[in-house]
Amino acid sequence: MAKVLCVLYDDPVGGYPKSYAIGTIPKLDRYPGGQAMPSPKQIDFKPGELLGSVSGELGLRKFLEANGHTLVVTSDKDGDDSVFDRELPDAEIVISQPFWPAYLTAARIAKAPKLKLAITAGIGSDHVDLQAAMDRGVTVAEVTYCNSISVAEHVVMMILSLVRNYIPSYDWVVKGGWNIADCVARSYDVEGMSVGTVGAGRIGLAVLRRLKPFDVRLHYTDRHRLPAATEQELNLVFHPSVEAMVRICDVVTINTPLHPETEHMFNDALIAKMKRGAYLVNTARGKICDRDAVARALRDGQLAGYAGDVWFPQPPPKDHPWRSMPNHGMTPHVSGTSLSAQARYAAGVREILECWFDRKAIRNEYLIVKDGKLAGAGAHSYSAGNATGGSEEAAKFKKK
Ligand code: NDP
């Protein structure tokens, strides 16, 4: 029987919800492109309920305990004295969400001799030292596609809110003002702008599709080129390198995984190659950008705006410069954990667990690492190595 250690974000400060804003969420049949939705034998939760915080338990307790397994759920994940560190040594399975990641560093993996499976309840397994997982034979799986469209919607929202100066205008209303000139002094139309995505996978392509009706010029760069029919349909311009693309874009959105090839890709040198006054939207991973280079570029006007929901580490310390830099539209990491997305990734985690306990193959598209090497989605979109360096800084958030 397995011990399952599950790290989830804290419950709402006002208490776990007693009711929800909408009664039923739409039921989807398939993802775009045809991939099947998560298909566990059963679920023990109501889609649309809060599952990603501690009390929601991803809807897993009944299933796990009925089958004789142990489930430990905690939000206390950082620092040597954390519940996560104390519970890890005899855990077989660790489940973690990228929004509140339990960093599975090489040191932690070394302290967990029974660990065999790390499941990402979401997409993006960079919080696991993938090299250490490969070296130790730990399987890493995520729920591919579960929140790709959630993020694509968020990217479009952030591009529009930055370019149109939405958040400062909203602030004037809340402050009791009617300061139109203050609002519009940084407000533009997106129409006619050149918008480019770094990475045109599930999220990147969905962003391009959603932006097409805005009559913008669409650009992308990726390791693999999209089919010619897709390029023609969306009138896409492909660039063989990120440097070539950012030179001509008014808006750049980042939609790649974090892995050694993309870590700190947007540093001083690359940001200097962007058009002066470009907007950068990053909902992929905070560490794809150099933290201080972004803050500098906003202060000196090289970037007109920066928005996203991903930071490094998570949670970021209270004095993280992205909290106070000018012209930003940052939120905590929320885009992929809407109540709609939670229902899909909770079902996907259940499907992965059912396969694991039944000794059936986990879907190839869910795999990141298996049998000591990158596999499935991991083999297509990641490079080998480790991107967790510096994650111990997350413990600073706890300190007063
Ligand atoms: P996909 O795997 O479908 O797409 C990722 C794309 O990035 C692939 O096309 C891949 O290329 C490309 N890519 C990888 N490395 C590079 C590189 N060095 N240069 C250019 N392109 C590269 O994943 P998704 O679109 O579903 O998700 C992407 C990432 O977004 C996730 O890994 C995660 O980090 C983040 N994410 C964030 C969420 C949030 O809540 N903010 C939620 C979900 C995801 P190829 O495969 O062609 O090699």
Tokens representing 373 are: 């090497």
| Domain count of the fold of the chain | 2
Tell whether 329 is covered by a domain.
Answer: no
Mutation pick for ligand 1 pocket among 127, 140, 156, 255 (CB with most ligand atoms within 8 Å): 255
Q: Give pLDDT, residue 80.
A: 83
On whether residue 218 sits in a domain, the answer given is yes
Residues 308 and 160 occupy one common structural domain: yes
Task: Find tokens 């049998």 and name the residue.
Answer: 371
| 180 and 231, same domain (yes or no) | yes
CB burial class (10 A; 0-12, 13-18, 19+) of residue 41?
A: exposed
Whether residue 315 sits in one domain with residue 354? no
- Alpha-helical (H) ranges within the chain are 61-66, 83-87, 106-110, 130-136, 148-163, 166-174, 180-184, 202-211, 228-234, 242-246, 268-273, 291-300, 339-357, 376-381
> In this structure, is residue 331 part of a structural domain?
no
Letter string b/e over residues 299-312, b meaning 16 or more CB atoms within 10 A of that residue's CB: eeebbbbbbbbbbb
Structural domain of residue 218, as residue ranges?
148-323
Residues written for the chain: 400
145 backbone φψ class: left, alpha, beta (φ>0; ψ -120 to 50):
left
Same domain, 156 and 122: no
User: Which 3 state secondary structure label does DSSP give 202?
Assistant: helix
How does pLDDT run across 89-140, given as a tens digit for each residue?
Answer: 999 999 999 999 999 999 999 999 999 999 999 999 999 999 999 999 999 9
Clarify whether residues 137 and 184 are in a common domain: no
Positive or negative torsion for Cα 49, 51, 55, 58: positive
Q: Is residue 313 part of a domain?
A: yes
Rounded to 10 degrees, what is the CA torsion of 291, 294, 295, 301?
Answer: 170
Q: Give all strands of the β-sheet with 3-7 in edge-to-edge order.
A: 70-74, 3-7, 93-96, 117-120, 139-142, 367-370, 373-374
- Per-residue pLDDT at 67: 97
The CA 245 to ligand 1 mean position distance, Å, reads 17
**pLDDT score at 39:** 97
Q: How far is the CA of 218 from the centre of ligand 1 (A)?
A: 18
Are 196 and 290 in a shared domain?
yes
9 vs 146: CA distance, rounded Å: 18
DSSP conformation letters of 34-99:
GPBPP--S---S-TTS--SBGGGGGG-HHHHHHTT-EEEEES--SSTTSHHHHHGGG-SEEEE-TT
What's at 205, amino acid-wise? L
Identify the CA nearest to 39 among candidates 363, 367, 368. Answer: 363
Residue 15 lies in a domain: yes
**What pLDDT is stored for residue 353 in this prediction?**
98
Q: Give DSSP secondary structure letters for 105-153.
A: -HHHHHT-TT--EEEESSS--TTB-HHHHHHHT-EEEE-TTTTHHHHHH
Any atom of ligand 1 within 6 Å of the Cβ of 342: no
- Please check whether residues 372 and 295 belong to one and the same domain: no
* Per-residue CA distances from 87 to 91, 173, 392 (Å): 7, 48, 18
Q: Which of 202, 223, 369 to mutate to test the pocket of ligand 1 (most atoms within 8 A of CB)?
A: 223
328 within some domain: no
Task: Answer yes or no: 328 catalytic.
Answer: no
Please give the distance, rounded to the nearest whole angstrom, from the Cα atom of residue 179 to the centre of ligand 1.
Answer: 40
Which DSSP symbol is given to 306?
E
Which residue in the block uniquely carries the two structure tokens 């897709």?
Answer: 230
Q: Identify whether residues 118 and 188 lie together within a single domain.
A: no
User: Looking at the structure, do residues 169 and 46 belong to the same domain, yes or no?
Assistant: no
Cβ of 341 closer than 6 Å to ligand 1, yes or no, is no
User: Domain check: are 199 and 94 in the same one?
Assistant: no
Q: Quick one: pLDDT at residue 399?
A: 65
User: Do residues 10 and 54 lie in contact, with contact meaning Cβ atoms separated by under 8 Å?
Assistant: yes
Are β-strands 373-374 and 236-238 bridged in parallel, bridged antiparallel, or unpaired? Answer: unpaired
Q: Does residue 278 contact residue 327 with C-beta atoms inside 8 Å? A: no
- Residue 157 within any structural domain of the chain: yes
Spell out, as residue ranges, where the chain has pLDDT lower than 70: 399-400
The response to whether residue 202 sits with its C-beta less than 6 Å from ligand 1 reads yes
Query: Ligand 1 centre and the CA of 297: distance in Å?
Result: 24
CA dist 131 and 386 (Å) reads 6
Q: Is residue 330 part of a domain?
A: no
- Residue 237: beta bridge partners? 219
187 and 260: one domain?
A: yes
pLDDT recorded at residue 361: 98
CATH number at residue 126: 3.40.50.720
Q: Tell which of 295, 323, 351 closes a domain.
A: 323
Burial 347-373 (b: 16+ CB within 10 A, else e): bbbbbbbbbbbeeeebbeebbbbbeee
Residues 13 and 95 placed together within one structural domain of the fold: yes
- For the CA of 309, the closest atom of ligand 1 is 41
